[in-house]
Amino acid sequence: MRLSSIKFFCVNTINFLRYRRGGVFMDLVAVYVPKELWPRRGVWSGKIIDIKVGVGDKVSVGDPLVEIEIEKAVIVLESEYNGVVKEIYVKKGDIVGPGHKLLLIEVLK
């Protein structure tokens, strides 16, 4: 049972990678589980209960990406970028913790 639902932007959890495609530089952004997502505890784990996007999907700022359940609370991680999902590293039911890599987004300019 979901007791609460919290929206959370993936602040300070991004790694950038710049690559060149046809003379144009593209940015890839890796999205991680924020370390400060559940500040009540230093060590915690959560369960991926839903992945809201698929590979190839376009995302905009504020779009939900992943839902994580932690101690009966549901945390919704939202996109900070406009882009296209390139890779997904987790699946429904996976157990994740702070700093766990979730997905890769190609940023659209």
pTM of structure: 0.76
CB 54 within 8 A of CB 69: no
Whose CA is closest to 77, among 86, 65, 88? 65
Instruction: Read off the pLDDT of residues 46-88 as tens digits, 9 standing for 90 and up.
Output: 999 999 999 999 999 999 999 999 888 898 999 989 999 999 9
Instruction: Read off the pLDDT of residues 86-104 as tens digits, 9 standing for 90 and up.
Output: 999 999 999 998 889 999 9
Q: What are phi and psi of 82, to 5 degrees?
A: -90, 130
Q: Up-side HSE of residue 83: CA atoms within 13 Å toward CB?
A: 20
Residue 57 CB neighbours (<10 A) = 14
Q: Which residue has the tokens 């060149």?
A: 20
pLDDT at 15 over 60: no
Average pLDDT over residues 8-15: 44
pLDDT grade for 35, boundaries at 50, 70 and 90 = confident
**For the chain, what is the mean pLDDT?**
80
Map out the domains of the chain with their CATH numbers: 4-107 (2.40.50.100)
Q: What pLDDT is recorded for position 94?
A: 97
CA–CA dist 38, 75 (Å, integer): 9
Residue type, 23: G
